[in-house]
Structure 1
């Protein structure tokens, strides 16, 4: 049975190391968001560094999720002092559970603050695509799909929640019902 891969990427207005209250608010809210999403029905897995390693995204061992990668347009730092990004890579049982996890609960509260924390780049902030059961997407897969989405628009190869496709390539809807 196919699984849904979801890659998210955003450029923060300030580096993660910035002690300003706004950056701290974003950073401090992340733990609860990840914890809640990890318990959401339909959640399968997300990219985590090996053995709880700490450091910048670029320095970590992401095991089967591959080497950390970012879109070509990201022009901010890559060091602990300058990195200014938020990225996730996850696997879900289906489109609807992923949509519900993103647009409800603590993540919804965080989304309501996205304009405070993230730059408007003109690029999509997320991309979805279907993978075979047992396949682990890589960071590079996510970057490639996000860049394809930006260049070509939504298609079965790379799509968004508002413009979704089923595993067979037919248009689908992820909207919350009633």
Structure 2
């Protein structure tokens, strides 16, 4: 019997200012809420965090305005539910208040073995692959999904 794979997701966002700026306070105040919503969502497996309990200290591309998030889910449907139906949605709908539009891919999905915990480097490699080649079975998006066998879903 084949091992069922889990779905890793990573996303980055460029803040309108660094997280310690007053204009970002209303977002920063919601980070714990967002993380707890994920941890309590069906299908949640794991989320990347530093010793501080979140990922706000991670610097991506040397830019203090870019925030990083990465988590692992049992399925695409579980991640979709969390993103678009859970308490996360109230924060997601307000993203334009805190974040600038990015010209590069900002979210990537890929399948991993259940015992794997992806690294920041893994996520950056997947984002780079997505930017270079577009969606493919090992680096894709909600707009162009692939199942764990590599078959395009849409």
In the alignment, what sits opposite 2:140?
159
Shift >3 Å, 4+ stretches? 52-56
Distance 1:97 1:53, change over 3 A: closer
Give the secondary structure class of the aligned counterpart of 2:29. helix
TM-score, normalization: structure 1?
0.78
Partner of 2:35: 34
For 1:57, the equivalent position in structure 2 comes to 57
Call closer, same or farther: CA 1:6–1:55 in 2, change over 3 Å. Answer: closer
State the partner residue of 1:138: 119
- For structure 1, the residue ranges without an aligned partner over 5 or more in a row are 59-68, 77-82, 174-178
Q: How many angstroms apart in 1 are the aligned matches of 2:55 and 2:103? A: 28
The number of aligned residues is 151
Structure 1 residues 170 and 98: CA distance shift in structure 2, 3 A: same
CA contact (8 A) 2:107 2:141 kept: yes
| DSSP-derived class of the 1:90 partner | strand
Q: Secondary structure of 1:172's partner?
A: coil
Query: How do 1:6-155 and structure 2 match up within 5 A?
Result: 6-20=9-23, 23-50=24-51, 52=52, 57-58=57-58, 70=60, 74=61, 76=63, 83-155=64-136
TM-score, structure 2 normalization: 0.89
* Structure 2 partner of 1:65: none
The Cα of 1:151 is off from its aligned counterpart by 1.6
